[in-house]
């Protein structure tokens, strides 16, 4: 069978899912975003523009996995001074740690189109377990003949668990930067 005649989808537990195979994160259809509390009253949002991922969809979908690499210097919060500080040794230390890595270790559970993907996140050389709440968004074939599927994922981490402990106490109480970071990912996988 050629790529054009291979099945794009299959049925599994009431879902139409991608065919088994290896998929790459489409650089033109991805967003790796985050938010953190600022001065205890608002949120700062940003994203990493440099991110790659290989997604392996198993014959048994519950045996699927992902590896991802994120370029730390690509952080963008739309504020140059803040981005420079986040790249410094106070936070990501991009000179010493140019990437963050995520490697899945298994699918913990699923309910309909929602999955809990267990894995290990490495930031600044520190590796911690992180579960991603993944939502499968759909599957199809693009007008260019590419087999694709969409997904979104969310997690919350404590930045101090990864050695990101810089902060400033506020006179009114609390701190300048919250400990909890919400990670939100949107993307499309393209079959290789």
Tokens of 120: 């290990």
CATH architecture of residue range(s) 9-191:
Beta Barrel (2.40)
Distance CA 14, CA 178 (A): 40
Its pTM stands at 0.92
Q: How confident is the model at residue 4 (pLDDT cuts 50, 70, 90)?
A: low
Average pLDDT over residues 26-38: 95
**Stretch 28-57: mean pLDDT:** 94
Q: Is the pLDDT of residue 180 over 80?
A: yes
Tens-digit pLDDT profile for residues 63-81:
999 999 999 999 999 999 9
Cα gap 192→177, rounded to integer Å: 41
Task: Read off the pLDDT band of 133 (50, 70, 90).
Answer: very high
User: Which has the higher per-residue pLDDT, 8 or 69?
Assistant: 69
Predicted pLDDT at 40:
80
Average pLDDT, the chain: 94
pLDDT for residue 3 is more than 70? no
Q: Residue 58: count other Cβ atoms within 10 Å of its Cβ.
A: 12
| Residue 120 confidence (pLDDT) above 60 | yes
Phi, psi for residue 20 in degrees, rounded to 5: -60, 145
How far is Cα of residue 20 from the mean position of the Cα atoms in its chain? 21
**Count of CB atoms situated within 10 Å of the CB of 131:** 18
Q: Which residue has the higher pLDDT, 157 or 171?
A: 157
The rounded distance, in Å, linking the Cα atoms of 52 and 54 is 7
pLDDT digits (tens, 9 = 90+) for 79-117: 999 999 999 999 999 999 999 999 999 999 999 999 999
Domains of the chain by residue range:
9-191
């Amino acid at each position: 069978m050629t790529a054009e005649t291979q099945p794009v989808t299959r049925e599994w537990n009431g879902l139409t899912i991608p065919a088994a195979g290896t998929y790459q994160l489409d650089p033109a259809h991805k967003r790796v975003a985050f938010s953190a509390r600022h001065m205890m009253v608002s949120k700062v949002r940003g994203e990493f523009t440099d991110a790659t991922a290989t997604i392996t969809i198993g014959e048994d979908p519950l045996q699927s996995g992902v590896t991802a690499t994120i370029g730390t210097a690509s952080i963008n919060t739309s504020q140059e001074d803040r981005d420079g500080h986040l790249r410094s040794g106070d936070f990501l230390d991009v000179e010493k740690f140019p990437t963050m890595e995520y490697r899945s270790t298994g699918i913990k559970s699923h309910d309909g189109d929602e999955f809990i993907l267990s894995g290990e996140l490495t930031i600044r050389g520190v590796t911690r377990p992180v579960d991603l709440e993944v939502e499968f968004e759909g599957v199809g074939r693009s007008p260019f003949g590419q087999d694709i599927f969409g997904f979104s994922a969310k997690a919350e981490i404590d930045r101090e668990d990864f050695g990101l402990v810089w902060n400033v106490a506020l006179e009114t109480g609390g701190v300048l930067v919250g400990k909890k970071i919400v990670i939100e990912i949107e993307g499309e996988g393209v079959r290789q």
